[in-house]
Amino acid sequence: MRCVSERVGPGCRQPGFLWRVQAQHSFAGNSRQARTTISTVIRATIEGLRYSRGNLKIRLYDSLENIVQEIIEGLIRFQREVFPQQSALFKRLSTAQNPSTLFVTCSDSRVVPELLTQTEPGSLFVIRNAGNIVPSYGPEPGGVSATVEYAIAVLGVSDIVICGHSNCGAMTAISSCTNLEHMPAVASWLRHADAAKAINASRHYCSDAERLEALVKDNVIAQLGNIRTHPSVAVGLVNKTLRLHGWIFNIESGEMLALDGQSGKFLPLADNPEIFAG
């Protein structure tokens, strides 16, 4: 406690902050690991922000304090109010999981798979990254490939959803040809969407918004093509033990579009719950 308060600067000494951290410690009881984890999270995050400059520094400290508090308080609420009501579910899940679906979507904070699908813990096996991308299978498979393989070979999922979304930052960077020299890792990662980029660039659109909307769709289709190159997916599709779905979530309206593999069109999923991509 003393160590943390010394490191976070004047803002942390506000009564509200100290009371809340103490409350967490009280709740954690004798759990040394819980106390250490919370202290580490606070300390690491704040030290990361020490590199900020000028007046922004103080505001970052203040907002950081609020954000960390909000997260910890949410965890406390979960442990005190939500978990007891779902203890039977977590008891059942404590030794095994049996998700039916691999859900691949963007890291975007506004797209929350379990919220959108109203599913409980244990239902979705989730991959999230910038641009809901699945690299094609290759000689040096990475984390996404390993997760896809595990989902099929070990968990035996029957469905894979690749879900893009409106106002996607990754797709915006591609469609607007944003200079990504200062983010080489992002630039390299988005190369896995080159097929969608090329298709998008070959067409005419009346506006930037229309171009972006089309790219989000093209990217979902491209990633469905990429995931088909994974041996475990190919086998599942041939044996008809696996189905692919291409979805697009509209953040403003809440609508979900789904790719109809028959027509190649994206249709409202609520009106066409039976359609799938392939």
- Interface residues with Zn ion (CB under 5 A) are 106, 108, 168
Given the complex with Zn ion, which of 156 and 169 has the nearer CB atom? 169
**CA 189 – CA 145 distance, rounded (Å):** 14
Least distance from Zn ion to the Cβ atom of residue 131, Å: 6
Given the complex with Zn ion, which of 107 and 241 has the nearer CB atom? 107
User: In DSSP terms, which residues pair with 214 in a beta bridge?
Assistant: none
CA 228 to each of CA 31, 41, 153: distance values in angstroms, whole numbers, following the listed order: 46, 39, 15
Least distance from Zn ion to the Cβ atom of residue 110, Å: 9
Given the complex with Zn ion, which of 100 and 117 has the nearer CB atom? 117
Given the complex with Zn ion, which of 35 and 128 has the nearer CB atom? 128
**Contact between residue 258 and residue 247 where contact means Cβ atoms under 8 Å apart:** yes
**CA 252 – CA 209 distance, rounded (Å):** 14
**Contact between residue 166 and residue 213 where contact means Cβ atoms under 8 Å apart:** yes
Helix 208-228, helix 231-238: angle, nearest 10: 80
Least distance from Zn ion to the Cβ atom of residue 76, Å: 30
Least distance from Zn ion to the Cβ atom of residue 164, Å: 7
Given the complex with Zn ion, which of 12 and 161 has the nearer CB atom? 161
Amino acid at 143: G
The residue ranges of DSSP E strands in 90-131, in sequence order, are 101-106, 124-129
Residue with tokens 């779905």: 245
CA 45 to each of CA 31, 40, 180: distance values in angstroms, whole numbers, following the listed order: 22, 8, 25
**CA 261 – CA 119 distance, rounded (Å):** 25
Least distance from Zn ion to the Cβ atom of residue 107, Å: 7
Residue with tokens 């972006």: 212
Least distance from Zn ion to the Cβ atom of residue 249, Å: 10
Least distance from Zn ion to the Cβ atom of residue 108, Å: 4
Given the complex with Zn ion, which of 102 and 104 has the nearer CB atom? 104
b/e per residue, 208-220, with b = 16+ CB within 10 A?
Answer: eeebbbbbbbbbb
Given the complex with Zn ion, which of 108 and 218 has the nearer CB atom? 108
